[in-house]
Amino acid sequence: MARKSYFVTGTDTGVGKTLVSAAILEAAATLGKKTLAMKPVASGCDETPKGLRNEDALILMESMSEPLPYDQVNPVALQPAIAPHVAAAQAGRHLTAERLVGFCRGLQMRPADLLLVEGAGGWRVPLNDRETYAAMPVALGMPVIMVVPLKLGCINHALLTAEAIRRDGLPVAGWVANRPDPAAMNCEQETLDYLIQNLPAPCLGVLPWQKRADPKELAEALDVAVLFEN
């Protein structure tokens, strides 16, 4: 059974959740940990001879230590690169938190030290007309790792996301700052200092921008030991 499970969310879409997740998996491997990961719902999948495949899910498969078939890493694959609930409706499918919880519990039963579950977009991304993606980690009681892109507006987005997570009854286990652009944002250190002082969780690291992102190299910027405490 997975000893530690975390849900990875972002302050918005396109903030680097997959890259951060892959780097965490690589960092955990350097500590001798066995790791698993999944992206339960992925829109923006490509048609291949083996079926629909999502680039993010494939990156997770490359970085986790334990082998899994694609369908267990990404059980709901949707072709259009649009909001998951819209993509699911167009495909004649209905997303529910209960179903996603079932997928996650199945992986939690596998032996590993760490299971990362990557969400889609931000904390309040809809699953259907009544539920948001947050309902799944809430049902599982899964602590959250938050990804914060270092760009203008990130303080407000980070604080609001952390507030929403805690209001839903889950702890923020840690957060990772990710540089989304080659040039550092103005007043980057001041921004980091404020986030470190005001977010209710430890900063696991600051990932530098890379033209060709390499999770193994980025893992060197992370300290994930806190994720295995207690």
Q: Which positions are annotated as active-site residues?
A: 39
> Of the candidates 33, 173, 40, which has an alpha carbon nearest to the alpha carbon of residue 112?
33
DSSP secondary structure of 106-134: HHHTS-EEEEEEEEEEETT-BSSSS-BTT
How buried is residue 91: exposed, middle or buried, by Cβ count under 10 Å (0-12/13-18/19+)?
Answer: middle
How far apart CA 52 and CA 27 sit, in angstroms, is: 29
DSSP secondary structure of 169-214: T--EEEEEEE--SSSPPTTHHHHHHHHHHHSSS-EEEEEPP-SS--
**Which token pair is 101?**
């919880």
Query: What amino acid occupies position 174?
Result: G
| 157 half-sphere exposure, CB direction, 13 A CA radius | 22
CA distances from 174 to 92, 95, 218 (A): 37, 28, 17
**How is the chain split among helix, strand and coil, in percent rounded to 5?**
40, 25, 35
Report helix, strand or coil for 225: helix
